[in-house]
Structure 1
């Protein structure tokens, strides 16, 4: 079964380096990634937890002082066009006190990839009298 997420979630392409690989008490492979030198994001390390089926089931982002910043848990994997896809993603962002958190849960149903869009969406054109203002981000 292929997984949609690359084995390192794009960390190596972003300059992160694999520091260690261990197994936790649940038998998951835990890879520890360090940010590139000169990184100013405040990230100290990223840990990826991979199940024995090869799916990333959890990620943890820690700050430079080792404080947990964000966790993401992936579950309810289904097969979609030959790929493993998590139907539930729970993201927790921890506030500086370490106790409080903001939690977001996303649940996917009727998952499909590369579907054809209906003509009314695929061929949508702005009316001629609509003014478009470009914004800088």
Structure 2
């Protein structure tokens, strides 16, 4: 879990590789793992890495890079709120996981969670955009396009 500032000139592919490395997610981000752990404080909570979850988390990881939210517990609650505010389209797994994160965030960090949700309402998520094409775009261009450049 490390908060990183990504240079705006990096491609999303390059920034995502850094994100995977600094967070210890492995070269493929753990997308091929059968199970993944969500750390709830010091406690790992394992759950299946379903195809629907992988479909959503590919975009979720890019959102972390673009928004600057950390991968610690509070950061995950913030990104959940941001994604709900920005919209999850037809990504059912994203709606499911993010609603849990939103409610937990409202209990544990209400101001930060509400602030992230409101920021999301002013932004646009990447859900539903052609994924591979996003990886060739720059961090700066996507931040501006999504209106995610200002916290």
Provide TM-score, normalisation by structure 2. 0.26
Larger Rg, first or second structure (1 or 2): 1
Provide TM-score, normalisation by structure 1. 0.27
Q: Which structure carries more relative contact order (alpha carbon 8 Å, separation 6+)? A: 2
Identify, as 1 or 2, the structure richer in strand: 1
Identify, as 1 or 2, the structure richer in helix: 2
